[in-house]
Amino acid sequence: MPVNDSKYPNSAVIELGEVDLNCPSNCQIHNTHFFGTDRQIIRRGQAFSFYARFQNREWDDSVDQATFTVETGLRPCESNETKCTFPMGRCLDQTCWSASYKIHQPKCISISVFPPSNACIGRYILNMQITSCGHTYQRCLGDFYVLFNPWCADDPVYMDNQAHREEYVLNEHGILYEGVHKHITSRPWHFGQFEEGILDICLKILDMGASYHHGSDRDRCWRNDPVHVSMVVNHMISSHTTNSIMKIPENNDYLKGTKPFSWNGSVPILQQWYNGRCRPVRYGYCGSLASVMCTVMRCLGIPSRVVTNFCFPCSIENPLGINEIFDCTGKNLCGKDKLWRYHCWNESWMARRDLNQCCGDWQCLDPTPLETGRGSACSGPTWVRSIREGELDLDYDGQHMFSRVNSNYVGWLSQNNAKKTKFFCDAWPCGQHLITKSVGSEQFEDITGAYKYELGSVKNKEAYYRAYRRIHPGYCNASNCHIDRELSSLKNPFLSDSGINMRLKMANCPMYGEDVQLHWLLENLRGENKNLKFNLSAQIVTYSGCPMDQFWKDSVNVTLGPREVKKIPLCISYSQYGPYLCDHNIMKVVAVSDPECGEVLMVSRDIVINRPPVIVKLLSQPRLKVPCTAEISFCNPLQEDMKNCVMTLEGCGLFKEPMTIDLGTLASNQQARTIVEFTPYRLGSHRLLANFGCHRFAYCKGCSKAEVCCPAGQNGTLPVSQNGSLPVCENGSVPMNGSGPVPVADPAFNSMCEYICIPVCNPNCSAGGQPVYDFVYLPAGHPLCNTICNQGFNPSVNPGFDLGCDPGFRVICETVPPATCTPMHPSMYGSMPAPTSNPVCTPMPHVVFETGPAPAQQTGGGTGPMSYSVSVPANNAVSALLTHFMAGSGPTAATQAVPTHISAPPSHPVCTPVAHTIGTPIVHTISTPMPQPAPLSAPAASISHVVCGSAPSPTAQPPCGPMATLPPQPLSAPITRGMCSPGPCPAASPQEEIQSFSAREYQSATDGSQVPSAPCVLPLPRLKDEHAQIFWKKGKFGGQLLETIWESIFKAKAKG
């Protein structure tokens, strides 16, 4: 509106119009686009920009001023740094909240806002106040989120290695390591920090944990410090009195909640906590607690990882000693101390300003509340380097973290008179194996050296002495020798001191349902006879060191001659341990000598019983928002029925919520296969996780990687290769880059091109006329394309390629008619989508047909690529070699294909008709021998021949002709389907018949002097009453290629 004030005679109040927050671009720049691009999620220490448009005139600094206000929290105020007001200028001040602008378009400015590297994290409200021509008005521009920034050098969580940032901040998939130090097992875990709603849940955790700092000097602005944020998260995981995220079952009783080991990821846990009014989720264990904390920390922008420590002591009385007590039968008695077989905690990367650290390092945070001398509490953050150096007074809970990797094991034999005696044993030191998932790999990384120096080294002893004096104030001024004498008095004597060596060695790697086979090795180290009586025992032990039932006992008299070595086999049958195993798949076998024989000797072994595998197979290439099917199978290895069998499926980016399938009862040695359909909703690399549970055990895990890509033909542009050039894949040519053709066996082949083109003879060409070819585009991830790119089937790369071998894929299609180009429908290579009445057929990738004349010979020397058609029968010995040549020989300018989805037939005689819907299980069946499949056929109406060009499609089709029979296929493997031609192949007239090559004609063709002008047929050997033919015409075919094909034919014939 105009202003009459004499100060502004020619101006009007500027009117703010549309404001574009530019969320997609900002999220991409700030590495937050994984959350989605519909919200403004930015990282501190890095500016974000948006556009402001004005309705009536341009922005004028002389009469227009703007001020921004950002605020976060329930009661924002400037004193606790949760509210800030700052003006808009011409440049940014990177030491505080600031804003600047530049002209973007007429009546439009681009505004940049800079959140400082010490800003509090959380959800902010952004307000803009405009003063124009003496008038002031305000508008709320919306909200935005501020997270920690490991890409910013000024942020305490800065991590300078991009590969490490991708692993410890952006990776949603992890691996948890379990078992014992001699038998490490692993299972996948979904962190899911970018799943919908997780960010809001993580901020809710900070809100609920705000009372942790109440009354302290950090009561106000603690959200800007990663140290104190990590302390709040650590406290909220399991130590909060009423609103902790997860509880650990007491006395291993989890009847009132979910079994701790059945969880596959953090997302369902966090969602259940949030939707349940912030009440603890029942139940978890150390692995799930550490993983949930890792999810929260990564979501907030703090690099984090899960660490597993094997032989983890939990002592109440002596921080540097762990005691285990056994009776004379070898049974482990329950005492105050516990020796955990493994324990998981979290590590987070940050620079500790309170410790004057100038750069980031790993900080140890243990969210599992453990019993200590002062009660139950979580631990951390503790600088990992301070643990190694024994500097326990520098940090939070340094004493507890040091003792957990440096305690000494002491074993005792309890006799009837309550007398305890130390026995001779070779104890494994505590904390001698700490591992975590390695960067960019599925393998584990040993990080023991980060927590302690090599055992027995000078630095290791110095650190231990330093820590011992701080833990035991009475030894503050004691000498090192005095401390050594004290430690020696606590340790068990070695077995060798008694003149006997013993160990238990595994003879097999048992799985559920199998007997445990061991070899007990004894050696007499002295020159005199040894007569000993041993008591043998086996009992179940939980991962947390709680001894369960003793299910096996025995006694053996052993006589050892001088220097004699003896091996005694031991067997524990499944019928003995099976009823007691449950979810605790660890047993402890002990051999202890009778105290009446003199010295007490003991040897023990922790044994892990492997769980049966769950096999997960994707039956089609996962594509965004396109239904995909997967097969999950499980075999009952027990000699008894499994009751109450339940399969649970989940996967970030694949399932919006976990899918549960009730399988009922599974008989002994019977296999269940389940076909499920789901629709991926996020691009990228994901995992499909499966968990099987029954009355015997709660979990058996399986997973499969799922690379979700765009739907065929919707990528927009082809990806750029490393040298910056676009790959070309058209008319059967191999991809081209700036340095020439990409080798077919190049591993990067699939990642460079979106499709592979296979030409097929067009049915609309006139008999005897110029051949016309359609081009079938298959996705680069298609199994047939993978075979083309596999160097194992490339004779030029692998000279030992056996032409008679099974190429490893199945393509069923019709016999190509003679070269007269009689009507023939194009083949559908590969797999098809599962129709609504077909639960086992696999989805078909998008197939595109492009019509055009055969490329003419190019001028200026050389010829264009040869156009040809091929039909590959099932199990053809030469099909892999011929398919290899479908990659062509050179690029041409072909028209971009238009994606078209080919409809699938409504039913298939092999598949059992079962209706299903997306996102629910289609069918689960108990496997039985498959009957011989019936021949494939399909009505003409079910085949749509799409032509992208001027050539019309045939209006009428004769009935379907003879079709090759599907060979028997195991249901466990993806079964690909092919479609037969709607019409039979009419016989060619004598004038139209093309004679086969003779040796002389072959020689003329390879010399290039007499190349036939008409299309010719290379006859291929018959195999199982099927045959294939390859068409070619004059062009840049190459004598070498002809020679290779011709030689392959004779080799195949020679093999019969």
Using CA atoms, how far residue 732 sits from 744, 759, 886, in Å, is 12, 7, 6
Judge contact between 611 and 585, C-beta under 8 A: yes
Among 30, 190, 343, 584, the one annotated catalytic: 343
Spatial neighbors of 483 by CB under 8 A, at least 6 apart, are: 465, 468, 469, 475
Residue 215 host element (H or E):
none
CB atoms within 10 A of CB 830: 25
Spatial neighbors of 629 by CB under 8 A, at least 6 apart, are: 618, 619, 620, 675, 676, 677, 678, 834, 842, 843, 922
Decide if 286 is catalytic. Answer: yes
Nearest to 552 by CA among 536, 541, 533, 568: 536
Compute the chain's Rg from CA coordinates: 36
Q: How many residues does the chain have?
A: 1056
User: Can you tell me the distance from the alpha carbon of 313 to that of 396, in angstroms, rounded to the nearest whole number?
Assistant: 19
β-strand partners of 333: 325
Decide if 366 is catalytic. Answer: yes
Nearest to 1000 by CA among 1013, 992, 1009, 991: 1009
Nearest to 192 by CA among 294, 44, 40, 42: 294
Judge contact between 230 and 380, C-beta under 8 A: yes
User: Can you tell me the distance from the alpha carbon of 246 to that of 252, in angstroms, rounded to the nearest whole number?
Assistant: 15
Using CA atoms, how far residue 939 sits from 534, 740, 955, 980, in Å, is 77, 45, 15, 10
Could you tell me the two tokens for 781? 């991830």
Helix (H, G, I), strand (E, B) or coil at 446: strand
Using CA atoms, how far residue 835 sits from 172, 240, 981, in Å, is 33, 51, 20
Decide if 190 is catalytic. Answer: no
Could you tell me the two tokens for 766? 């006139």
Among 84, 278, 286, 703, the one annotated catalytic: 286
User: Can you tell me the distance from the alpha carbon of 569 to that of 362, in angstroms, rounded to the nearest whole number?
Assistant: 46
- The most distant pair of C-alpha atoms in the chain lies apart, rounded to whole Å, by 119
User: Can you tell me the distance from the alpha carbon of 406 to that of 388, in angstroms, rounded to the nearest whole number?
Assistant: 10
User: Can you tell me the distance from the alpha carbon of 1048 to that of 471, in angstroms, rounded to the nearest whole number?
Assistant: 78
Among 155, 225, 366, 397, the one annotated catalytic: 366
User: Can you tell me the distance from the alpha carbon of 107 to that of 64, in angstroms, rounded to the nearest whole number?
Assistant: 13
3-state SS of 489-532 is HHCCCCHHHHCEEEEEEECCCCECCCCEEEEEEEEECCCCCEEE
For the annotated catalytic residues, the residue numbers are 286, 343, 366
